[in-house]
């Protein structure tokens, strides 16, 4: 990956991370004050392009239980996504922010514990069950 391409992808990932942290904090403040949180919820839901799940190999005819999720935030050059694991009830338990640019592999953006918790809280707004 060229330095310019990597810098552009990292910059986009950091921008998405900052936006997610702001969205989660804004929702928390409004919800804490028992105010109407519909505007904050709409901002969170509209910030994702696609919600996907996948599972391990399972026997034919068994009930599909996803164990991983993906929230695609932007795609093309660059692309950014949140991915993580789900517990048995389709609740996010982990979250990682990844980025890539055209023809490059996904790379993880390092996050602080607080940022990681905001990513998990953000993922919990989305439905991953059947």
Measured CA to CA, the distance from residue 98 to residue 83 in angstroms comes to 8
CA-based R_g, the chain, Å: 16
pTM of the model: 0.88
**79-113 pLDDT, tens digit each:** 999 999 999 778 999 999 999 998 899 999 999 99
Measured CA to CA, the distance from residue 69 to residue 27 in angstroms comes to 22
- Report pLDDT for 2: 53
Chain position carrying tokens 């048995």 = 88
**14-59 pLDDT, tens digit each:** 999 999 999 999 998 887 777 788 899 999 999 999 999 988 777 8
pLDDT band at 1 (very low <50, low <70, confident <90, very high): very low
Side by side, the strands of the sheet bearing 68-74 are 50-54, 68-74, 79-85, 96-100, 107-109
**13-24 pLDDT, tens digit each:** 999 999 999 999
């Amino acid at each position: 990956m060229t330095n310019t391409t990597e810098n552009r992808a990292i910059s986009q990932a950091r921008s998405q991370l900052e936006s997610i942290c702001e969205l989660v904090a804004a929702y928390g403040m409004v919800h804490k004050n028992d105010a109407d949180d519909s505007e904050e919820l709409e901002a969170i839901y509209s910030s994702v392009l696609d919600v996907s799940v996948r599972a391990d190999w399972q026997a034919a005819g068994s009930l599909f239980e996803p164990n991983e999720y993906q929230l695609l935030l932007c795609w093309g050059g660059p692309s950014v996504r949140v991915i993580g694991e789900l517990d048995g009830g389709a609740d996010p338990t982990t979250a990682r922010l990844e980025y890539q640019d055209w023809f490059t592999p996904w790379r993880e953006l390092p996050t602080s514990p607080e940022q990681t918790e905001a990513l998990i809280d953000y993922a919990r707004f989305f439905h991953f069950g059947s």
